[in-house]
Amino acid sequence: MDRRSFLKLGALTASSSAVGACGQTVQKVIPALIPADDGVNPVEGRWFATSCMECNAGCGVIVRTVNGRAKKIEGNPAHPVNHGKACAMGQAAVRRAYHADRLKAPLLRKGGKGSKLEEVTWDEAIKVLGEKISKADGKVFYLNDGVNDALAGAAKSLFGENPAFTIASNHAPGRESHFAAGEAYLDFPSMPFPDIANSDFTLLFGADVFESDRSPVYFARVFGDSRRSRPSARGRFIYLGSRLSATAAACDKWLPVPPGKLGLVALAVAHVVVDEVIIRGLAPSIPRNTLSRWMEALKQYSPEHVEKETELSAEIIKRLARPFIEEAPAVAVAGDDVAGYTNGTPTLKAVSFLNMVSFEIGREKLRIKPRRDPAPDPDLKNRMLGWVGLPQSQQSFAKLKKLTEDMAAGAYNVGLIAHTNPVFDTPQALNFKAAMAKTPFTAVFALFMDETTADADLVLPDHHWLENWSAQIPEFAPGVPVLNLVQPVISPFTAARNSLDVIIEAAKKGGIASPYANGEQYLKAFIAKFRAEMLEIPQQLSAVGAWDFLLQRGGWWPSDEEVEPKNPPTTDRLWELKDSLAAPAPAFAEGPNFPFHLHLYQPVSRGRGKGANLGMLQEMPDPITTLMWQHWIELNPATAEKLGIKEGDLITVMSAAGSMTGPAFPYRGIRPDVIAIPIGFGHTNYGSVATNRGDNPMKLLGLAVDEKSGALAWRSQKVGVKKAGGSVAMLRDANPKGEYMGEAFNL
């Protein structure tokens, strides 16, 4: 039987108990009984369903353990986000759990700011944190990496009633722009998940969906479905953007559009499509007078009007529009090269408008057929987020910036920072490091020492998610509630403790009452509250049986149901969209010393820097450059020749905010007016593998934001380049030194 197409849920089977630091034991169940694939280690093992927390995508996973030790992580084939797939970072999580650099005990600055961190017992650490909370007068903040998890929900429930409390997130740039744009087309804010799998033609507007988008595993799966799962069609993909990324390289064509100009392309394509709809009488669901008003708004964006600015001929733009008419429903997907500019939200709206018109054309052509998808329930999802996660209003760069300014002004007495490294991965112009120094007491929940824990007053080593109780509500298809349960599947590798337990216990010592003794009870109370709406749980099961049922699945999500195409928007709503048909010019930090556009991007194997301390991921060749074990700066060969720069030459990139240095890598897949740099390198305190490996490009970023959503406009920075002197050898795949630098780690 194919493991990826059938999830065999067997009888509950006793497993060896693993006792956590707080005394609770791992559930004596094997949540998923799935035979190992041929060729996998034949030693008898057990399979546990849980949820990956290496990033915020929310993939369900199955963990194979042997004698209580994790051996292999695979995707959960029943999970709606990843359908059995897992990325490199997810599979490397086993190495993270058993990493030698993991924090072993709490660390406290007994002498206050400036003194050394010293090991203390857990009793002393929790006592100190409780005392600080009790004397904080409610002036407490909580900051995480944007994940909607149980720890954020617990912090909100414990401290949220005090008006002085603030909760914020340090999430990936541009997220809030997607939500701001989505509100023009949906009745509820959500991230778009276009139906690529059933599309004959997909136009990617700077969307690096395999590297850094909402869920790289999800998009890789639907990309494959579009290419090969339909016997009568093979999906075609065209990528528009300033750099040939791994996603662009997988497409049929790459068109190098100038930075910040993708909104013009989207509206020019829409101009052609709407004009054809009027001429040919297509899409009868759209009122004719509405179409006329749209054309009036779009007349300034004809292909002939925008070809100079977009550097795409009118004929190419018309060819891009043709599939939206002939092959509808074609799909447009917008990504970082849209959301990363000061005009991000209007451009995202333009792309969404193009999708809406394509949908209506496709309805008439009967190309849109019922699909089996998890049923949306935005009301339930929002209520669940009240327990597990952060409200959308708190997940913005504007909120993070305001928090940092208030920290610097001494507005908070206690700070709680969970699993995020803002000293390293926020623009250094934000100066989060200095703001932390102005906060009397900061406690950080972490697995490793990093730049932020190094400046904390109290460091609280957390369990890895393979050792932990938690829950997560990932951002999935619009309005679809998905609950990921995280359960301990291995014995703790260190003397760390579950952060959910620690924050509850510390709050109690600080005089804040909580009805829950620990994190496990908090999760069970959450399940009890929403069980009646989780119709997939057999109603005859007891509370214990329902809990075990969800652990078997790895969480809860609505059953797939046959979804008919949605009804078209009302006439009034359609006319309102006229206001979205605009593509304002992006703003850049201009100047004679900064002629190049800065294009920061997230590498697939290291994220924003979290994966940099794993040798397994450092040795994973970049899929485009094949570089490994080092940082690099990309520039077009023509630019490099003009500046007298060769591969490996050390160069300095400068902006109005700062500068950084690294080796040059001439790369043909980039526009001559663009300098591209992967983020996640340049750690100064992140273990032996990551520390002092390259420079941190976040030094270059100013604080420009999207004018509508307030999202960090991390692609709106301009820079200059000069030779720094010296050169280094570039390590690529199969380089003997690159292989030599790899780590030997036998699990």
List of E strands, 440-563:
441-446, 458-461, 470-472, 483-486, 555-556, 560-563
pLDDT band of residue 12 (cuts 50, 70, 90) is very low
Report, as an integer, the average pLDDT of 649-666: 96
34 burial via Cβ count (<10 Å: 0-12, 13-18, 19+): buried
pTM summary value: 0.89
- pLDDT given at position 25: 36
pLDDT of residue 158 exceeding 80, the answer is yes
Q: Per this entry, what is the length of the chain? A: 747
Contact 471, 483 (CB under 8 A): yes
pLDDT for 401-454, tens place per residue? 999 999 999 999 999 999 999 999 999 999 999 999 999 999 999 999 999 999
Residue 572 clears pLDDT 60, i.e. is over it: no
Q: Residue 575's pLDDT is what?
A: 57
Asked whether 452 and 79 are in contact (CB, 8 A), the reply is no
pLDDT of residue 365: 63
Q: Does residue 100 carry a pLDDT above 60? A: yes
What one-letter code names the amino acid at 103? L
Q: Where is mean pLDDT largest: 121-135, 139-153, 733-747?
A: 121-135
Greater confidence (218 vs 486) lies with 486
State residue 29's pLDDT score.
38
Domains of the chain: 107-171+378-464+497-532 (3.40.50.740), 176-369+568-580 (3.40.228.10), 596-740 (2.40.40.20)
Tens-digit pLDDT profile for residues 582-624:
889 999 876 678 999 999 998 888 888 888 898 888 888 888 8
Residue 747's pLDDT is 29
What is the predicted pLDDT for the residue at 19? 32
Higher pLDDT, 587 or 741: 587
Q: How many whole angstroms separate alpha carbon 663 and alpha carbon 550?
A: 50
Mean pLDDT: which of 40-49, 120-129, 145-154 is highest?
A: 120-129
257 pLDDT more than 50: yes
Q: Count CB atoms within 10 A of the CB of residue 326.
A: 13
Q: Each residue of 164-218: pLDDT tens digit?
A: 999 999 988 888 888 887 776 665 666 777 788 888 899 999 999 888 777 888 8
Q: How many CB atoms lie within 10 A of CB 593?
A: 11
Contact 504, 154 (CB under 8 A): yes
Whose CA is closest to 80, among 471, 532, 559, 469?
A: 559
Q: What is the pLDDT of residue 88?
A: 87
- Say if residue 738's pLDDT is above 60: no
In tens, the pLDDT along 500-553 reads 999 999 999 999 988 898 999 999 999 999 999 999 999 899 999 999 999 999
Strand order in the sheet with 117-119: 117-119, 107-109, 458-461, 441-446, 414-418, 140-144, 166-169
Average pLDDT in the chain = 85
β 69-75/60-66 pair status: antiparallel
Q: Is the pLDDT of residue 369 over 70?
A: no
Comparing C-alpha atoms, which of 373, 389, 394, 419 is closest to residue 483?
Answer: 389
pLDDT tens digits along 281-323: 988 888 888 888 889 989 999 999 999 999 999 999 999 999 9
470-479, 488-497, 737-746, range with the lowest pLDDT? 737-746
The fraction of the chain above a pLDDT of 90, given in percent, is: 57
Instruction: Give the pLDDT confidence score for residue 43 in this predicted structure.
Output: 59
User: Which tokens hold the place of 182?
Assistant: 């989505």
Q: How far is CA 89 from the centre of its chain?
A: 12
Residue that wins the pLDDT comparison between 403 and 234: 403
3-state helix, strand, coil in the chain (%, to 5): 35, 20, 50
